[in-house]
């Protein structure tokens, strides 16, 4: 159908206001996904749809079999970097979870998940026909997941269904409070109960050192656009050999008339996954990612520094476990909230004030609870953000401790 | 785990040999996915992971609700362009098929598919737990799908299971012979039997005019990286209101301890899909795509011209329905095959000879049967390709008719 030309004008010269420049973007989901210069260089060259498929091997036509560019080698290096046996790039971390759920479970089966799991964990479970049993957290102000309760929840599933859950899921660092969970301990509990563990490392692998073998996890998933300096959509699915055999099994379907089979493919990946530009950004950024995880200690120091400074503002404190072990920070500020109550822009005053100072990424309108992420900011930028918060607080008459 | 620096060197300066330049790339899957200049301009700016999420609405946090960049408007324009009610961008055409299968079927249910369906149609069915019933094709040399047999196959499913298939699938143009199927007729047959029809327009929508409403299809899927001048991975899932209600239904899962629900999301999309660069290339190329489908007639003329010329080579003919109604061409050449039998490079001689002439994209090693695609080539380029084939044939002593 014809679309009137005036309606097409909006697609010409699409522009991202927040791209690069002098802005400091604190958006909690965005810090780890900013491209490296190397990735920026290759994205255009591999922009065309099937840009990585020029050298797809005729006998094993599959993305992870391509050696030009070195995709096959990348999957191997990726697995090694994560301390896992096998790795694949899938379209999203949530798809990686879905694949694990779908291939390990049958409709009606249970997965045990931490109650701060990302929403996509729940959706992946429902799409795979599974039920969830949640491991509680301790609530305000720490919201600490009660990891010892994995044992109890596994037993609950056994009592209810006569068999253990098909999988347990632990969110390594949660999206809400940025709490880091003890994956090794959860793996231990799960294995004592003969339940494999999937670690959702969307906020950890790619920014901090994560060694799946050392942690003892069976499946490890992560997000390239969240934590690996890659374009969306890129998910990472890594597994032990034992798990990979199940979740990457080959298709069994056969055409009833044609007799066609598709045994070289991997069923749950639907064949090939991220055939172009985003995959290549992930690969191009990989050397920088391998390097950057070594500096995680300094990243955590910056996060703690910012918390320390922002907590000087009257009625303001960090929620989640203290001190921070991750750069995703959840702030509760009764002080800033009080200001918003009498400000003509209400909660938007904080957004306005930060924006004036070229700081963006905190959700416009929020003051009482808001999230931010300091990952990858320089010390100079972190100090500037801290000073800006204090300046804004002072401007509106809040006391600084 | 540490990766030795020498193993990381291969990721520095990744280069695509076949990108741009003077090469003519005839790769059958690649012609429709070459980026427009407009898409090339925006891909870097939106390269960062969550680049389109700066203005995600707080109350309805979902990709298709974002208005800066105009993603919400794009979904509407996309639906209108395809003559459908609702459209979503998903990660791949194959995922769009999976979503339809998963949301409409229950394990063990049947889908009726044409026997030239892409392999991913079968994998999507298996992943959704469905069985396939194939509609035969007529075999050599036309390989014409017997579309009247949709009726019979639907009846067969009814007899076998007591109920109609949950869906029928028609591949609008198949990947193997580039045959264009009469979607309107198949829709008519399916609807007479109360079976909805999914049209796989991976090779058609985006390069030729496709109006789902006129054709009477219930679901229409396509591939951005195959036919919409977009980066991978981008799939298109479009549907009538009636179908969209089912396939885009909201999640029902609830945390058993937390009580959390996720009703604003769309279950089978797992929330958000293509959050960045590829989506923006699809949007940036959209005005050019809306325009280019008008020139489909000329594209078909170029394909027919090339066939006519190449068929002048001794023992060489186009397979599939004649004359061509699509630019994907399957050539059978007993002549070139005979040459390969006594050539020291065997079948690779054709690749070598074409490569010398700066023509690439035909699978190296093939001579007896090979595929190519003329879409988007200029008349000058098509003539040059035709002359090159004739020149190579003559060089090896094949007669030209």
Q: For B361-380, what is each residue's pLDDT tens digit? A: 999 999 999 999 999 999 99
Shortest Cα–Cα distance, A303 to chain B (Å): 21
* Contact across the interface for A127 and B268, Cβ inside 8 Å: yes
CB A86 within 8 A of CB B49: no
A98 in reach of chain B (CB within 8 A): yes
B184 in reach of chain A (CB within 8 A): no
CB B55 within 8 A of CB B68: yes
CB A118 within 8 A of CB A171: yes
Hey, what are B110's tokens? 């049947």
The confidence score (pLDDT) of residue B20 equals 63
Beta strands in A136-266 (DSSP E): 167-171, 197-200, 219-223, 235-239
Shortest Cα–Cα distance, B391 to chain A (Å): 25
Residues of A (282-311) whose Cβ lies below 8 Å from B: 283-284, 286-287, 290
Backbone CA torsion sign across B297, B41, B71, A201: positive
- ipTM value: 0.97
Lowest average pLDDT, out of A193-197, B11-15, B130-134, B254-258, goes to B11-15
Shortest Cα–Cα distance, A50 to chain B (Å): 6
Indicate if the pLDDT at residue B303 is higher than 70: yes
- Percent of chain B's residues with pLDDT above 90: 97
Each residue's pLDDT tens digit, A143-168:
999 999 999 999 999 999 999 999 99
What's the predicted TM-score (pTM) here? Answer: 0.98
Distance, in Å, from the CA atom of B269 to the CA atom of B251, rounded to the nearest integer, reads: 10
Residue B40: partners with Cβ closer than 8 Å, 6 or more residues away: A44, A47
Q: How many CB pairs under 8 A join A and B?
A: 347
Closest alpha carbon within chain B to A50: B30
The confidence score (pLDDT) of residue B1 equals 66
Q: What is the mean pLDDT of chain B?
A: 97
Shortest Cα–Cα distance, B400 to chain A (Å): 30
Q: CA angle B287-B293-B298, nearest 5°?
A: 135
Backbone CA torsion sign across B221, B225, B229, B231: positive
DSSP string, B329-361: EEEEEHHHHHHHHHSTTTTHHHHHHHHHTTEE-
DSSP string, B235-265: EEEEE-HHHHHHHTPPP----TTT----TTS
Closest CA to B326 of B208, B209, B210: B208
Distance, in Å, from the CA atom of A310 to the CA atom of A291, rounded to the nearest integer, reads: 30
Pick B33's closest partner by Cβ from A49, A74, A231. Answer: A49
B170 in reach of chain A (CB within 8 A): no
Closest CA to B124 of B147, B150, B105: B105
Which of B9, B10, B11 would you mutate first to test chain A, the one with the most A CBs within 10 A?
B11
**Interhelix angle B37-45/A37-45, nearest 10 degrees:** 160
Side-chain half-sphere CA neighbours of B234 within 13 A:
31
Pick B270's closest partner by Cβ from A30, A127, A267. Answer: A127
Q: What residues of A are in contact with residue B12 (Cβ under 8 Å)? A: 38, 284, 287
A140 in reach of chain B (CB within 8 A): no
The residues that bridge with A200 in the sheet, in sequence order, are: A171, A221
Pick A1's closest partner by Cβ from B211, B223, B287. Answer: B211
Each residue's pLDDT tens digit, B35-46:
999 999 999 999
The confidence score (pLDDT) of residue A17 equals 80
Each residue's pLDDT tens digit, B67-126:
999 999 999 999 999 999 999 999 999 999 999 999 999 999 999 999 999 999 999 999
Hey, what are B401's tokens? 């008719």
Hey, what are B5's tokens? 């620096």
Distance, in Å, from the CA atom of B324 to the CA atom of B203, rounded to the nearest integer, reads: 14
Closest alpha carbon within chain B to A98: B270
Side-chain half-sphere CA neighbours of A291 within 13 A:
12
Is A153 buried (19+), middle (13-18) or exposed (0-12) by CB count in 10 A?
buried
Residue B68: partners with Cβ closer than 8 Å, 6 or more residues away: A17, B54, B55
Q: What residues of B are in contact with residue A262 (Cβ under 8 Å)? A: 119, 122-123
Q: What residues of B are in contact with residue A5 (Cβ under 8 Å)? A: 287
Distance, in Å, from the CA atom of B117 to the CA atom of A361, rounded to the nearest integer, reads: 45
B154 in reach of chain A (CB within 8 A): no
A30 in reach of chain B (CB within 8 A): yes
Each residue's pLDDT tens digit, A287-328:
999 999 999 999 999 999 999 999 999 999 999 999 999 999
Distance, in Å, from the CA atom of A164 to the CA atom of A218, rounded to the nearest integer, reads: 16
* Contact across the interface for A74 and B232, Cβ inside 8 Å: no
Q: Beta strand A328-333 with A316-319: parallel, antiparallel or unpaired?
A: antiparallel
Distance, in Å, from the CA atom of A58 to the CA atom of A80, rounded to the nearest integer, reads: 27
Helix, strand, coil percentages, rounded to 5, for chain B = 40, 15, 45
Q: Which residues of A95-121 are buried (b: 16+ CB within 10 A; e: fewer)?
A: bbbbbbbbbbbeeebbbbbbbbbbbbb
Pick A51's closest partner by Cβ from B13, B16, B136. Answer: B16
Pick B273's closest partner by Cβ from A233, A251, A361. Answer: A233
CB A195 within 8 A of CB A164: yes
* Contact across the interface for B91 and A91, Cβ inside 8 Å: yes
Indicate if the pLDDT at residue A20 is higher than 70: no
Indicate if the pLDDT at residue B21 is higher than 80: no
Rounded to a whole number of angstroms, the CA Rg of chain B reads 23
* Contact across the interface for B49 and A34, Cβ inside 8 Å: yes
B381 in reach of chain A (CB within 8 A): no
DSSP string, A222-242: EEHHHHSS-PSS-EEEEE-HH
- Where would I find the H helices in A112-172? 119-127, 149-161
CB B193 within 8 A of CB B222: no
Ramachandran region, residue B51 (left: φ > 0; alpha: ψ -120 to 50; beta: rest): alpha
CB B278 within 8 A of CB A277: yes
Shortest Cα–Cα distance, A400 to chain B (Å): 30
Q: What residues of A are in contact with residue B140 (Cβ under 8 Å)? A: none
CB A239 within 8 A of CB B280: no
The confidence score (pLDDT) of residue B35 equals 97
CB A112 within 8 A of CB A145: no
Write the CA distances from B290 to A144, B153, B205, integer angstroms: 52, 36, 10
Query: What's the whole-number mean pLDDT along residues A2-16?
Result: 91
Rounded to a whole number of angstroms, the CA Rg of chain A reads 23
Element (H, E) at A279: helix A277-292
Each residue's pLDDT tens digit, B263-299:
999 999 999 999 999 999 999 999 999 999 999 999 9
Closest alpha carbon within chain B to A33: B49
Distance, in Å, from the CA atom of A19 to the CA atom of B41, rounded to the nearest integer, reads: 14
- Where would I find the H helices in A311-375? 334-342, 348-356
A108 in reach of chain B (CB within 8 A): no
Which of B97, B156, B233, B364 would you mutate first to test chain A, the one with the most A CBs within 10 A?
B233
Closest alpha carbon within chain B to A226: B49
Element (H, E) at B370: strand B369-373
Distance, in Å, from the CA atom of B147 to the CA atom of B374, rounded to the nearest integer, reads: 27
Indicate if the pLDDT at residue B2 is higher than 90: no
Distance, in Å, from the CA atom of A50 to the CA atom of B288, rounded to the nearest integer, reads: 19
Three-state DSSP at A205 gives strand
Which of B50, B53, B212 would you mutate first to test chain A, the one with the most A CBs within 10 A?
B50
The confidence score (pLDDT) of residue B22 equals 82
Backbone CA torsion sign across A235, A239, A241, A246: negative
Query: What's the whole-number mean pLDDT along residues A260-274?
Result: 98
Pick B277's closest partner by Cβ from A53, A231, A260. Answer: A231
* Contact across the interface for B48 and A33, Cβ inside 8 Å: yes
Distance, in Å, from the CA atom of A11 to the CA atom of B38, rounded to the nearest integer, reads: 9
Residues of A (53-72) whose Cβ lies below 8 Å from B: 53-54, 58, 68-70
A85 in reach of chain B (CB within 8 A): no
Q: What is the mean pLDDT of chain A?
A: 97
Indicate if the pLDDT at residue A278 is higher than 80: yes
Closest alpha carbon within chain A to B19: A45
Closest alpha carbon within chain A to B110: A256
Pick A275's closest partner by Cβ from B211, B232, B267. Answer: B232
Distance, in Å, from the CA atom of B253 to the CA atom of B262, rounded to the nearest integer, reads: 8
Residues in chain B, total: 401
Lowest average pLDDT, out of A16-25, A159-168, B153-162, goes to A16-25
DSSP string, B37-69: HHHHHHHHHT-STTTT-TT--SSS--GGG-TTT
Each residue's pLDDT tens digit, A165-174:
999 999 999 9
Distance, in Å, from the CA atom of A98 to the CA atom of A90, rounded to the nearest integer, reads: 11
Shortest Cα–Cα distance, A313 to chain B (Å): 26
DSSP A2: -
Query: What's the whole-number mean pLDDT along residues B131-146?
Result: 98
The confidence score (pLDDT) of residue B17 equals 80
Each residue's pLDDT tens digit, B192-242:
999 999 999 999 999 999 999 999 999 999 999 999 999 999 999 999 999
Which of A5, A9, A14, A280 would you mutate first to test chain B, the one with the most B CBs within 10 A?
A14
Query: Measured in Å, how far apart are chain A's first and last C-alpha atoms?
Result: 64
The confidence score (pLDDT) of residue B18 equals 76
Q: What residues of A are in contact with residue B11 (Cβ under 8 Å)? A: 38, 70, 74, 283-284, 286-287
């Amino acid at each position: 159908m014809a679309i009137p030309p005036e309606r097409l004008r909006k697609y010409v010269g699409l522009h991202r206001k927040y791209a690069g420049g002098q802005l400091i973007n604190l958006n909690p989901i965005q810090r780890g996904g900013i491209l490296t210069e190397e990735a920026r260089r290759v994205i255009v060259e591999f922009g065309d749809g099937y840009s990585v498929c020029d050298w797809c091997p005729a006998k094993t036509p599959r993305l992870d079999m391509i050696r030009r560019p070195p995709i096959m080698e990348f999957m191997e290096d990726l697995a090694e970097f994560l301390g896992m046996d096998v790795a694949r790039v899938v379209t999203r971390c949530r798809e990686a979870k879905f694949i694990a759920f779908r291939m390990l479970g049958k409709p009606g089966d249970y997965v045990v998940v931490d109650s701060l799991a990302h929403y996509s964990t729940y959706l992946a479970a429902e799409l795979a026909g599974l039920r969830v049993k949640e491991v509680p957290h301790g609530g305000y102000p720490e919201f600490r997941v009660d990891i010892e309760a994995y044992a109890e929840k596994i037993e609950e599933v056994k009592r209810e269904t006569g068999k253990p859950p098909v999988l347990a899921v632990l969110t390594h660092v949660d999206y809400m409070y940025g709490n880091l969970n003890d994956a090794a301990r959860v793996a231990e509990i799960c294995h004592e109960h003969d339940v494999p563990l999937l670690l959702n490392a969307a906020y950890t692998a790619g920014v901090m050192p994560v060694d799946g073998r050392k942690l003892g996890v069976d499946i490890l998933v992560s997000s390239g656009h969240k934590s690996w300096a890659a374009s969306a959509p890129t998910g990472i699915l890594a597994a032990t050999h034992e798990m990979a055999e199940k979740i990457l099994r080959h298709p069994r379907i056969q055409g009833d008339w044609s007799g066609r089979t598709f045994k070289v493919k991997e069923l749950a990946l639907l064949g090939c996954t991220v055939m172009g530009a985003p995959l290549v950004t992930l690969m191009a950024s990989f050397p920088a990612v391998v390097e950057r995880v070594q500096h995680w200690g300094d990243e955590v120091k910056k996060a703690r520094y910012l918390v320390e400074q922002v907590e000087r503002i009257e009625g303001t404190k960090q929620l989640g476990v203290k001190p921070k072990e991750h750069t995703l920070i959840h702030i509760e500020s009764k002080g800033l909230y009080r200001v918003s109550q009498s400000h003509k822009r209400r909660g938007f005053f904080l957004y306005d004030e930060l924006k004036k100072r070229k700081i963006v990424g905190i959700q416009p309108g929020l003051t009482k609870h808001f999230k931010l992420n300091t990952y990858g900011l320089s010390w100079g930028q972190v100090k500037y953000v801290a000073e800006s918060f204090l300046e804004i607080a002072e401007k509106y008459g809040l006391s600084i401790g």
